[in-house]
Structures are given as structure tokens and as C-alpha cells.
Chains A and B, each alone.
Chain A
Amino acid sequence: MSSHSHVEGQLPHEPERATLEGRNKITGFWLFLGGETVLFGTLFAAYLTLRGQVMDGPTPNELFDFALVALATALLLTSSLTSVFALQAMHKHNVKGLMGWLIVTLLLGAAFLGLEIYEFNHYVHLGHTFAASAFSTSFYTLVGFHGAHVAFGLLWVILILLQLKKRGLNTTTAPKVYVFGMYWHFIDVVWVFIFTVVYLMGKVG
């Protein structure tokens, strides 16, 4: 495509696509994201089926709080934007900027995860435990799986940061950064459906 025509210094403009391995990595990751779509889709389907079965536990309407969800959404959405800035810094071969924006993304993601842990802990005190009802089980499975993905993403970006510090930006590290960016956007896209289907619809019905 475009990478071969612009050589600047040693690195091409899009270092993530400079090698066949890098391009294959990106293609393979799209296939993985297709699989992730199925994973979350089935969890959403299970939640939609079971969300009315609250038994003696609290209902979604009693449980959810607009302010908390809005804050979590703002944190994750902003972290998605800062990971875009990280990739733009990478395309300018600005390693400092790249690492700086990745650290901002890491911090915002950690804040989101902290908020979710606080939220779950708060719910358990209200009697909304994992085994309280079919609603609570499907809720924790769906939202918890998303939270686990965020936690995994945080570990991943820490490892990428360490590698960037050690090896710098080259055609091996660049595809890793790019693929992480794709993963992080996907996590944000899943969250859009979670706040819509779980939280907002829980407040409506």
C-alpha cells in the first residue's frame, strides 16, 4: 500500500505495516476481534434472556446509578481517544509522545477498572451477589468479562511500554502497539453496548 513509498530515516511512515509479519498480525487480530464479537454477543443474549429474573434480589432500576455509569463511560471513551493519539505519535516516530499517550491510556483504563471494582463491591453490599438471581449472574458474567478484558489490556500495555523502553520503536514493536490500539477501541465499542443495554435499558424497564 503506502508504506513502501515513504521512507523517512530508517522507519517507514506506517511502521506497523512495513513487514509481512506486521500486516499478518493485524489481519489475524481482526479475525480474533470477530471471535470476540461472538463471545460478547452470546453473553449479551444470555443477559437479555435472564435480566427479568431477579427473584428476591435488587432490580436493575434499584441498583444502577446514572452518575457512576456516566463517569465510567467518560473514562473509557477518553482512553480510546488517547490511544488514537498514541498511534498518531507513533506515525510521526515520536517515541516519547507514543509512550506518554500510552501511559495516559493506562491510567484512564486503571481508573475505569477501579470504578468497576468499587461498583461491584457496592452491589454485593446491597445483596446483588453473583448467586442472588439469574439477573445477577448474567450481569456479573457480561460486565465482569468486559472488566477482565480491560484488566488484560492494562497488563498488555504495561508490557508494550516496557518493550518500547528497552527496544525502542521499530518494525517489530510497531505492530504490537497498533494491535493493542485495535483491542482497546474494541473494548470501548463493547462498553457502548453495555451502558446502553445493561445500564440505560435497566433504568427504563
Chain B
Amino acid sequence: MAAANEQTSHRSDVKTTKPEGSKKHIIAFVFSILLTFIAFALVMAGEINTDFIYIMLVVLAIIQVFVQMAFWMHMKDKGHTFAIIAILSGVVVVFTCVIMALFWTTW
């Protein structure tokens, strides 16, 4: 997969129009805009069910972050095992802290 991309992008180096893979970054951008728009719309519409909105907002944010990290930060590409380990070990601490915070304030 990565090797195939490599070859096609190499060919396009010879002064064609757009570099290979520009499209998927623009799709990631449009997707991010869309997710952001849905999040704003959910809150601006208001008055559905507060708990439902909270959960939806968190889900939308996590999807958007996955899209951006996978495509823009290339974490889906080969050779990013260490990157995933580094970020995940950070996320473990974040989860611990955030769950403690929610435990203190809501239970």
C-alpha cells in the first residue's frame, strides 16, 4: 500500500498537476468541517436531551481527532508503531485524570 503510493507520487513528480494523495487530505478536511458543523448544530438546536448531547459531542470530537491523526499526522501509515505507543501512553494518563475529574464532580 505504502509502496504503491510511493511509486505513483514519484511519477507525478514529473510536473503533472496535483501531487498524489492531496485528495485524501482535502477529504479529511471536509470531513472535519462536517463533524464540527454537526457538533455546533447539535448544541445550537438545543433542548433535546443534555446527556445525549454530551455523549454525541465527545463521540464527534474523537472521530474528528482520529481522522486528523490518521491522515494529517500519517499515523495510519507504515512505521508509526512508536508514534501510536507514545500517544496512547499519554492517552492512558489523560483518561485516568478525566475519569477522576468526572467522578469528583458528578457522583
Contacts and interface: CB of A to CB of B under 8 A. Distances in A.
Interface residues of B, number: 53
Contacts, number: 145
Q: Secondary structure at chain A's binding surface: helix, strand, loop or mixed?
A: helix
A182 B73 contact: yes
A152 interface: no
15 contacts: A2-B3, A45-B101, A49-B101, A49-B104, A77-B29, A78-B29, A88-B21, A182-B73, A185-B69, A193-B61, A195-B36, A197-B61, A200-B43, A204-B43, A205-B50
A89 B25 CA distance: 13
Interface string A14-54: 00000000000001001101111110111011101100100
Given A1-B79, A13-B6, A91-B9, A35 B64 contact: no
A37 B2 CA distance: 28
**Contact-residue bracket for chain A:** 35 or more
A66 interface: yes
A28 B46 CA distance: 44
Given A192-B68, A197-B57, 4 more contacts: A88-B19, A182-B73, A189-B69, A192-B61
B58 to A, nearest CB: 7
Contacts of B105: 48-49, 52
Nearest to A40: B94
